[in-house]
């Protein structure tokens, strides 16, 4: 495609295929993310005029309205967000591709075969970088909506957030008709309401990842949306009635009544973690999104000072 020679496929998903590629002229390696969606020729034409993210072809259609492009344009310069080198559009096939810097691996690949959990100090460093990326994204009016180990990329000890295919403009009023793609990291408001959630859902996902990095085990591996909710209740207990009533107003479910579960918490699950660490994870996993911290709130904590 254009000036790139594909070396191998790195991953395949419902929305895109990611390949390792080499620039024919410079020999530089890159990650080429080819979107599966086909963009048909429209009546309007607009070129992506951004010298830092050149488009190799005029896109026939409203390219600036593609959410992923909007956020990449705003956020790609941040040191903890994967850098987009250029955006390609192949008019004959109607496929859009992003050329990203090539990273070593994603977080899932980094931890899946470890025999022992990472040290808390190591995890703290990873989480600090992840929260900086989330904060930058939120400050620029976006919410990621699919934060999971596979969307967190590593180059050495540097963490970079990628996988912006599900991102949304956070200034848009809910409800959001499209759902999140990864159940295990979905916040309660995403599971129990008809799309009434905001950027705080990213904080819940990050809290799940915080725990997973300390244990190498997913915190809530639900096999369905109902099972996901029940697994949350197994640890945090059945939420207070006023919280469920708040969700009920925003839900088409006729009854949000759940079996009573006692609070057990996460302290017994991560006894090796410091008290401060456990408190922060619990704060990030607050059931009521209105009481959940922002990334900016978390970055102000002394815990994340190095």
Look at residue 37 in the predicted model and tell me its pLDDT: 81
For the residues 96-118, what does the mean pLDDT come to? 95
146 is catalytic: yes
C-alpha count within 13 angstroms, C-beta hemisphere, residue 213: 28
H/E segment holding residue 7: strand 4-12
Highest mean pLDDT among 49-63, 78-92, 156-170, 274-288: 274-288
pLDDT above 70 covers what percent of the chain?
Answer: 89
Look at residue 49 in the predicted model and tell me its pLDDT: 40
Contacts 24+ apart (CB under 8 A), 19-23: 20/102, 21/99
End-to-end Cα separation, the chain, in angstroms: 44
pLDDT band at residue 51 using 50, 70 and 90 as cut-offs: very low
For the residues 178-190, what does the mean pLDDT come to? 85
The radius of gyration of the chain's CA atoms, rounded to the nearest angstrom, is: 20
| 49-53, 72-76, 161-165: least confidently modelled range | 49-53
For the residues 84-105, what does the mean pLDDT come to? 88
Look at residue 241 in the predicted model and tell me its pLDDT: 93
For the residues 100-124, what does the mean pLDDT come to? 97
More confident residue, 12 or 155: 155
Query: How far apart (Å, rounded) are the C-alpha atoms in residues 85 and 107?
Result: 22
Look at residue 44 in the predicted model and tell me its pLDDT: 33
3-state secondary structure of 34: strand
For the residues 141-153, what does the mean pLDDT come to? 95
Burial of 17 (0-12, 13-18, 19+ CB in 10 A): middle
| 30-34, 64-68, 150-154, 205-209: least confidently modelled range | 64-68
pLDDT tens for 191-234 read 999 999 999 999 999 999 999 999 999 999 999 999 999 999 99
Look at residue 42 in the predicted model and tell me its pLDDT: 45
Look at residue 2 in the predicted model and tell me its pLDDT: 73
Look at residue 56 in the predicted model and tell me its pLDDT: 44
pTM comes to 0.89
Q: Which of 135, 146, 198, 202 is catalytic?
A: 146
pLDDT tens for 2-41 read 789 999 999 887 778 999 999 999 999 999 999 888 876 5
Look at residue 67 in the predicted model and tell me its pLDDT: 66
For the residues 78-92, what does the mean pLDDT come to? 90
Query: How far apart (Å, rounded) are the C-alpha atoms in residues 208 and 231?
Result: 13
């Amino acid at each position: 495609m254009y000036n790139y020679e594909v070396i191998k496929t790195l991953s395949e998903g419902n929305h895109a295929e990611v390949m390792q590629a080499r620039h024919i002229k410079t020999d530089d390696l890159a990650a080429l993310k080819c979107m599966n969606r086909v963009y048909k020729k429209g009546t309007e034409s607009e070129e992506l005029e951004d010298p830092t993210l050149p488009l190799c072809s005029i896109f026939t259609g409203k390219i600036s309205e593609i959410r992923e492009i909007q956020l990449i344009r705003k956020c790609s310069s941040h040191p903890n967000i994967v850098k987009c080198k250029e955006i390609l559009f192949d008019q004959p096939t109607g496929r859009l591709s992003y050329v990203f810097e090539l990273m070593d691996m994603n977080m899932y690949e980094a931890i899946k075969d470890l025999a022992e959990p990472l040290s808390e100090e190591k995890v703290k460093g990873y989480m600090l970088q992840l929260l900086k990326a989330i904060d930058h994204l939120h400050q620029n009016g976006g919410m990621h909506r699919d934060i999971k180990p596979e969307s967190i990329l590593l180059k050495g000890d540097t963490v970079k957030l990628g996988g912006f295919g599900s991102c949304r403009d956070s200034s848009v009023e809910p409800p959001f008709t499209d759902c999140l793609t990864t159940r295990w990291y979905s916040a309660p408001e995403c599971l129990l309401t008809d799309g009434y959630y905001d950027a705080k859902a990213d904080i819940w996902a990050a809290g799940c990842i915080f725990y997973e990095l300390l244990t190498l085990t997913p915190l809530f591996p639900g096999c369905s949306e109902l099972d996901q909710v029940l697994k949350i209740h197994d640890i945090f207990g059945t939420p207070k009635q006023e919280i469920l009533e708040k969700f009920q107003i925003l839900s088409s479910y006729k009854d949000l009544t759940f079996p009573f579960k006692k609070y057990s918490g996460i302290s017994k699950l991560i006894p090796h973690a410091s008290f401060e660490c456990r408190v922060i994870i619990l704060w990030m996993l607050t059931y009521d999104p209105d009481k959940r911290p922002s990334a900016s709130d978390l970055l102000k904590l002394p815990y994340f000072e190095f």
